[in-house]
Structure 1
Amino acid sequence: MLIYLSGPMSGIKEYNYPAFRSTARDLRENGYKVINPAEIKPIEQTWEGFMKADIKALMDCTTVVMLPGWESSKGAQLERHIAEALGMEIFELSEFQTSQGRKRR
């Protein structure tokens, strides 16, 4: 299982990086492999450039974990739409933590 984190960034203090980093750290400590878009550095430093780099990373994953507030994010909505169209597993963060029992995978 390779997890992609999806959630709001634009318009949020520090681009919501603290929430992305904390979630990635927690999941990794529980044995999961995680792609954290806050760690991706695109060539083009625009919204479109970030989305292109993030979507490329999403394509390597099997599972998407949605961070709180994703519903208000145009980018997270797009990532979720792509994941749904490709039949990937999609979880809200709280749902994932409950369903996986925070055990190593």
Structure 2
Amino acid sequence: MRKIHLRDQMTGLPDLNFAAFHAMTTNLRAGGHTVTNPAELNPGGGTWNDCMRRDIAALMDCDTVATLPGWEHSKGARLEVLIAERLGMTVVSAHDLVTREAV
């Protein structure tokens, strides 16, 4: 089991891409993982700075960052992945993680 921080692009996408975050969170939790989902941390949105402060604080309690396709187009996701890498955390594709566990 991992404590996972889920990352993808939110800004500029319909409904802040919440549907993709919620769907993957369901899959990861079904695999027994604890998941920090930025869509749950910031349900009402807010300023980018406010959301990133909450997200980065939550990231510090995790050991893994799981990314969704397109995360690299998000300045927030890129920042969080950089922080995770610099701190020696594991960074994986969320889809690869779910697929490996289903086998």
Q: Give yes or no for TM over 0.5.
A: yes
8 Å Cα contact 2:5-2:36 kept in structure 1: yes
8 Å Cα contact 2:27-2:98 kept in structure 1: no
Partner residue, 1:40: 41
8 Å Cα contact 2:65-2:91 kept in structure 1: yes
Matched letter for residue 19 of structure 1: A
Matched letter for residue 52 of structure 1: R
Identical positions, percent: 46
* CA gap 1:3/1:45 in 2 versus in 1, 3 angstroms: same
Give the 3-state SS of the residue equivalent to 1:38 in structure 2: helix
8 Å Cα contact 2:66-2:92 kept in structure 1: yes
Question: What residue ranges of structure 2 are gaps of 5+ in the alignment?
Answer: none
Deviation at 1:45, TM superposition (A): 2.0
1:102 counterpart = 2:94:
no
Q: Deviations over 1:58-89 (max 9, x none)?
A: 00000010011101000000000000000000
Give the 3-state SS of the residue equivalent to 1:39 in structure 2: helix
Partner residue, 2:24: 23
Give the 3-state SS of the residue equivalent to 2:65 in structure 1: strand
Aligned counterparts of 2:42 and 2:18: Cα–Cα separation in 1: 13
Extract structure 1 runs of 4+ deviating beyond 3 A.
none
Aligned counterparts of 1:41 and 1:27: Cα–Cα separation in 2: 19
Partner residue, 2:68: 67
Aligned counterparts of 1:67 and 1:98: Cα–Cα separation in 2: 13
RMSD: 1.7
